[in-house]
Structure 1
Amino acid sequence: MPLARGQRPVARVLIDSPLPQLDRLFDYAIPAELDAQAQPGVRVKAPLRTAGRVIEGFVIERGVESDVDRVLSELDAVVSPAPVLPERLYRLARKVADRAAGSASDVLRLAVPKRMVRAEKAWLAGERCAAPALTATASAHAEAVLAEYPGLGERIDAGARLALDAPPTLVTLGDDTVPAWALLLAAAAAHCLAAGRSAIIAVPDHRDLDLLHLALSSLVPADALVRHDAGQSGPGRYAGYLRTLEEAPCVVIGNRSAVYAPVSSPGLVALWDDGDPLFDEPLAPYVHARDAALVRQELDGCALVFAGHTRTSDVQRLVSIGWVEELAPARRTSPKIVLSPIREEERGARVPSAAFRAAREALEHGPVLVQVARPGFAPSLVCADCRAPARCPACGGPLHARSRGAVPVCGWCGRSAHAWACPKCQSVRVRLASSGSERTADELGRAFAGTRVIVSDGAHPVTEVDDRPALVVATRGAEPIARGGYRAIVLLDGERMLQSPDLRIGEACLRWWSNAAALAAPDAPVHLVGVNGPVARALASWTQPAYARQEVADRAPLHLPPAARVARLEGDAAAVDRALAALREAVPDLPAEAILGPVPAEADGVPRARALLRFDYGRGPRVTASLRASVVAEAVANRGRRTGGAGRRPAARNTLAVRVDIADPEL
């Protein structure tokens, strides 16, 4: 469109910088030689006068400047003409960042992979993908799977928000065995693809991703399947991202950042097992994949599915207020759970007689799974005389043993404690206080002489075992799939797992045990050893949603997540006080008991202050806007102090840090 006299084109650019004061759009004049290429979504280089350097960014939109006397810097260069940041992705990143009091550029750094020149040139020169077509057999199979959940297909088409109770069973696909949840989500994705819409499925780790990929390969054409995970090469990941920019629908599978995939016509965003801590983003602004998916569903109007063998209290809160609809299968199935208490006469034994007998009988027919809490041989040692924890003389870290009779080794610094002596009683003898996966395998190997023993943990990953008799000792989350399912499952160390000082440890244990129990063959016994109470009862009756409901009810009077949102402020004491004062002014109806602290804290030997803020979801936008404004104000003021007069001592780079939605708050 030609410009009128006295007008000039302007690019509004988002600078790629971690500095909070730069989290806004900057206007740049577009020189004539870059006018054709400087389109919305492209990468550019722009001068930053305050820093005296050129920095990369994205053109978000173009406009027209009528005030020709206004001084504007010009774009320095267009890095690539490929429009890799569509408006829909920027809108999502902006919304997610505002909700978490963070920067949009930090979100985009997670969503947009690093540029790979060769992959980008091949994409620009190649032809765009055509709309994929499912075979009649694949479509019929997908619809048959969805039919197990009455109305699921119609709800997905209508853009509903659903909490699915996944079937705790295994299914056979040719020569492979996959969990039923993988086939269910694959069928939902195929249903969307057949309707001409894209689907995004996020799973916690590479093991789940491989299973989902296997299930999808039987339903979806290969050219319509985009895998997005950190294990890919840089060019492969970038090429997959470029494929999601095309108009042709596709199915995107990946880990937590997959929820940002910029597909053009999203019909479904699904998360499997959203309680897994791998969905927590460790980088600023620390947005959980579940929260990003909720924001995306609100913006795009697509269906949203939370599926799992258990239900998190976060999803249950949404169900309780009617924001998410729960959907169960027409035929309810559950594993055969047996609570195996350790009787008085069996004190000292890790495996009670009932579970031991069940394992021995099951080994006549196939593999048996034994779940333990920790990897290694002896994860912790104590003094053999006074039972005090054995600590490293150098750093104070916990000592562990790599094998029976081996020299203790520190779990923090890795030093060997050759001449260790107890600081309390001066004893030089240590005792194995716990059993890891390797020690358990050693003990069970002697108890079941002649039986094949397989260890699966972080150091010895195993993804699948055959249907021959074997004892599979696995840490939680590392259980391999057994062809045809395990003939028995024994869940050890449950009481020790529940003793972890974690607000959500009950939820976590129920999730670990439920996911393991779902690997059992039909009618195979699952023995939970030495545990009773609400978590054990929920597992035995397979009523995980009821446990989640009780958790939400118990936390509501205490204003603990997810009944309320929690933010943490940390920094200089004066900066924290200023932020809290600004918050009280911006949100005058905030209850006095919402603020906990400030209390003294210390980071790298520097005195700091820390405060917690509990607020309801209705006040969320005002609270996060105020906190973000305080972070920006402190950053600007701090920059002024650091660039002050000669002889002035430089101030710390960050005088105030804010993190919103703390799952397990500690003051």
Structure 2
Amino acid sequence: MPPESRRIARVLLDSPLPQLDRLFDYALPAALGDVPRGVRVRVPLRTAGRVIDGYVIDVDTEDDAERPLSEVETVVSAVPVLPERLHTLARRVADRAAGSASDVLRLVIPKRQVRVEKAWTADSPVVRPTAEALAQAEQIIAVYDGLADVLDEAGRAAVEAVPRLDDGVQAWARLLAASAARMLAAGKSSILVVPDHRDLDRLLAALDALVPSEAVVRHDSRQTNPDRYRAFLRTLEDAPCIVVGNRSAVYAPVVAGLVAIWDDGDPLLGEPLSPYVNARDAALLRQELEGSALLFAGHTRTTDVERLVVLGWLQDVRAARRVLPRVVLSTPQEMEQPTAQRMPSSAFLAARDAAAEGPVLVQVSRPGFSPSLVCAQCRAPARCAHCGGPLGARHRGAVPVCGWCGRGASAWACPACSSTKVRLASSGSERTADELGRAFPGVRVIVADSAHPVERVGDRPALVVATRGAEPIADGGYRAVVLLDGPRMLQAPDLRVAESCLRWWSNAAALAAPGAPIHLVGVNGAAAKALATWNQAAHARAELESRAPLHMPPTTRVALVQGSVAAVGRALGMLTELALPSDAVLGPVPVESDEVPPRVRALVRFDYASGARVATALRAAVVAEAVSGRRGRGRTTKSTLSVRLDILDPEL
């Protein structure tokens, strides 16, 4: 007599353990009734002797009722928070990055809020932009050649945003808002991803003028847990909406007609948690799966996006009529002046004349007064005696303070020459403001940095000293922009430092009023010329061509493998069967650490065609190390191997 059939659920466990990153079969008791896919459940984990949360991925019937299976203990909620499209995307992203799907889902599915869930009705009305707003959106889109076709035909494009302010709203925000409004009018949802809360607020302001507020769903870390869960539930509904948020918003479970990312070179779009997937890569995978329109918009262009443009995978979209900022570079005579003179005469005179009419922006590299000090006698960097961190000063004459541990160094003595006196070696935003305040008597000075956030300034005369990325918007635009500390910025030990500097400078230049001078001080070379000609795409292509012979990202993919000597050796051994080039592996080399046993790291370079095989092999190595590290029932030792794919800078 054949065994009786029974219902089973295939469950994805919410666990960070790599060996649990697969589907587990559980029996469904009849008492639970109908269990839809995507709901939260609690199931026993026999190997650990405890109950764990999970998601029902599939419900099936099997004839082998004699197979020993644990039963689902309870259905936590009847809301299907994990639709199939979200699970497919999470699985694809995790596989590409050699990570776990549950780690990806943890970024997008908030913790359950019972009261919010009980009040949720899942019947939000379908709203559309007004005819007047849609006409305004069409005018904005018409500024860019071919953009309308990209949106209508679900194309892919790299869009060079116009560097302009319109009624206090940046042109890039209007561009994204107009594209989303066009999609909403067609009954499709959009996902707009921006790096930080400042960009988010600016985009929300642009959307407010074009679409009903009921259609906008905010997704960012400033929300309370109930608000975030309420917004997430809204994205599960059929009514189209516009999701606006930071990097994790790219996973929003809407049926997207458009995914757009602003300023993809911003490091805030890189996920700092496992599996460390950049929002740009997640958007590319999502577009491939769902066939939505895809936009990468920015004042500059990363080498990652330019590579896709060169391959023809992304369309190059620019304004039909380009209006370029007025960039002034330092003259050869000014370049030969002593480095102590931060602001040459041409920039000083331009700032003085402009400050009589309205606000002037001065961009600096660092916050604070003097972030670094040196010995007054031998000029050796002043370091903390406790941790070796750099000593800085919070104001003139202040006791030196370590930038790492925060300890004061009142009795500091130079280990090289025994001098007890220090000298200010750099100027932060506060010291620059102090110096300019004396040079521009009677002019109001505003400091804008992480410690003094400023969102907007008026059109009255003022000097706004801001760190890179913290520049506020000025009503009517800045009458002049002075970009200081360029040589210091370019000295950073970073493969992408020129890209980053060009992005910082371009974003600041876009805040200038039409025709206002933009002085880049003390910098020449390729990055400076790209800013002066406003041809950032050509700079990205030149960078790409220079990296190709060296097999540096993004011309190739790079994986970082780190752990004990034995674990890294076994992981690299698993790659030998993939027939990678002889120079694919760099290292292993020791990692400076006090850990026992000592750790090493290695870099693995591979082409995009080999990506799936390399990721699978490295993931298998991580799982093997995790399984071999188990010590007794439910216990594990600390993982001896970590893998990170697609690192932006191999020197990290």
Name the TM-score class by shorter chain. over 0.9
Q: Distance in 1 between matches of 2:346 and 2:340?
A: 15
What does residue 641 of structure 2 align with?
A: 656
- What amino acid sits opposite 1:611 in the alignment? A
Q: Distance in 1 between matches of 2:221 and 2:422?
A: 41
Q: Distance in 2 between matches of 1:137 and 1:321?
A: 39
- What amino acid sits opposite 1:483 in the alignment? D
Post-superposition CA distance 1:102-146 (Å, at most 9, x none): 0000000001111111111111xx251121121111110011110
What does residue 504 of structure 1 align with?
A: 496
Post-superposition CA distance 1:187-211 (Å, at most 9, x none): 0000000000000000000000000
SS in 1 for 2:76: strand
Post-superposition CA distance 1:25-61 (Å, at most 9, x none): 000000011132x211100000001111000000011
The counterpart of 1:591, out of the listed 581, 586, 599, is: 581
What does residue 326 of structure 1 align with?
A: 316
What does residue 169 of structure 1 align with?
A: 164
Query: Quick check: 1:10 aligned with 2:8?
Result: yes
Q: How does 1:607-622 map to 2 (within 5 A)?
A: 607-622=598-613
What does residue 97 of structure 2 align with?
A: 100
Q: Distance in 2 between matches of 1:627 and 1:127?
A: 42
In the TM superposition, residue 421 of structure 1 has moved relative to its aligned partner by 1.0
Q: Distance in 1 between matches of 2:122 and 2:291?
A: 30
What does residue 47 of structure 2 align with?
A: 50
What does residue 153 of structure 1 align with?
A: 148
In the TM superposition, residue 602 of structure 1 has moved relative to its aligned partner by 4.8
Equivalent pair of 1:153/1:191 in contact (CA under 8 Å): no
Q: Quick one: structure 1 residues 485 and 651, their matched pair in 2 at CA, closer, same or farther if it must change by over 3 Å?
A: same
The counterpart of 2:25, out of the listed 24, 27, 31, is: 27
Equivalent pair of 1:157/1:267 in contact (CA under 8 Å): no
The counterpart of 2:296, out of the listed 284, 306, 324, is: 306
Q: Quick one: structure 1 residues 319 and 344, their matched pair in 2 at CA, closer, same or farther if it must change by over 3 Å?
A: closer
Q: Distance in 1 between matches of 2:376 and 2:465?
A: 27
In the TM superposition, residue 402 of structure 1 has moved relative to its aligned partner by 0.5
What does residue 625 of structure 2 align with?
A: 634
Q: How many residue pairs align between the two structures?
A: 647
In the TM superposition, residue 622 of structure 1 has moved relative to its aligned partner by 0.6
SS in 1 for 2:248: helix
What does residue 239 of structure 1 align with?
A: 230
Q: Structure 2: which 5+ residue stretches go unaligned?
A: none
The counterpart of 2:201, out of the listed 210, 219, 231, is: 210
SS in 1 for 2:322: coil
Q: Distance in 2 between matches of 1:378 and 1:167?
A: 35
Equivalent pair of 1:171/1:180 in contact (CA under 8 Å): yes
Q: Distance in 2 between matches of 1:352 and 1:346?
A: 10
Post-superposition CA distance 1:491-544 (Å, at most 9, x none): 000001000010000000000000000000000000000000000000000000
Q: How does 1:184-223 map to 2 (within 5 A)?
A: 184-223=175-214
Q: How does 1:123-134 map to 2 (within 5 A)?
A: 123=120, 126=121, 128-134=123-129
Q: Distance in 2 between matches of 1:147 and 1:187?
A: 10
What does residue 470 of structure 2 align with?
A: 478
Q: Distance in 2 between matches of 1:348 and 1:83?
A: 63
SS in 1 for 2:234: helix
Q: Distance in 1 between matches of 2:309 and 2:265?
A: 15
What does residue 174 of structure 2 align with?
A: 183
Equivalent pair of 2:494/2:651 in contact (CA under 8 Å): no
What does residue 400 of structure 1 align with?
A: 392
What does residue 647 of structure 1 align with?
A: none
In the TM superposition, residue 334 of structure 1 has moved relative to its aligned partner by 1.2
| TM-score after normalising by structure 1 | 0.95
What does residue 138 of structure 2 align with?
A: 143
In the TM superposition, residue 599 of structure 1 has moved relative to its aligned partner by 2.2
What does residue 351 of structure 2 align with?
A: 359
In the TM superposition, residue 150 of structure 1 has moved relative to its aligned partner by 2.5
- What amino acid sits opposite 1:364 in the alignment? A
Equivalent pair of 1:183/1:212 in contact (CA under 8 Å): yes
Equivalent pair of 2:146/2:317 in contact (CA under 8 Å): no
- What amino acid sits opposite 1:293 in the alignment? A
SS in 2 for 1:593: coil
Q: Distance in 2 between matches of 1:283 and 1:346?
A: 44
- What amino acid sits opposite 1:547 in the alignment? H
- What amino acid sits opposite 1:443 in the alignment? E
What does residue 410 of structure 1 align with?
A: 402
Q: Quick one: structure 1 residues 573 and 346, their matched pair in 2 at CA, closer, same or farther if it must change by over 3 Å?
A: closer
What does residue 114 of structure 1 align with?
A: 111
Q: Distance in 2 between matches of 1:571 and 1:238?
A: 37
The counterpart of 2:62, out of the listed 58, 61, 65, is: 65
- What amino acid sits opposite 2:508 in the alignment? A
Query: Quick check: 1:666 aligned with 2:651?
Result: yes
In the TM superposition, residue 217 of structure 1 has moved relative to its aligned partner by 0.5
SS in 1 for 2:629: helix
Q: Distance in 1 between matches of 2:640 and 2:336?
A: 57
What does residue 481 of structure 2 align with?
A: 489
Equivalent pair of 2:16/2:100 in contact (CA under 8 Å): yes
Query: Quick check: 1:463 aligned with 2:455?
Result: yes
SS in 2 for 1:539: helix
What does residue 259 of structure 2 align with?
A: 269
SS in 1 for 2:450: coil
Q: Distance in 2 between matches of 1:71 and 1:158?
A: 51
What does residue 217 of structure 2 align with?
A: 226
Q: Distance in 1 between matches of 2:11 and 2:644?
A: 26
Q: Distance in 1 between matches of 2:55 and 2:428?
A: 50
Query: Quick check: 1:386 aligned with 2:378?
Result: yes
In the TM superposition, residue 385 of structure 1 has moved relative to its aligned partner by 0.5
In the TM superposition, residue 298 of structure 1 has moved relative to its aligned partner by 0.3
Q: Distance in 2 between matches of 1:253 and 1:486?
A: 28
SS in 2 for 1:614: strand
In the TM superposition, residue 651 of structure 1 has moved relative to its aligned partner by 7.7
Q: How does 1:366-385 map to 2 (within 5 A)?
A: 366-385=358-377
Equivalent pair of 2:40/2:78 in contact (CA under 8 Å): yes
- What amino acid sits opposite 1:610 in the alignment? R
In the TM superposition, residue 345 of structure 1 has moved relative to its aligned partner by 5.3
The counterpart of 1:643, out of the listed 618, 632, 635, is: 632
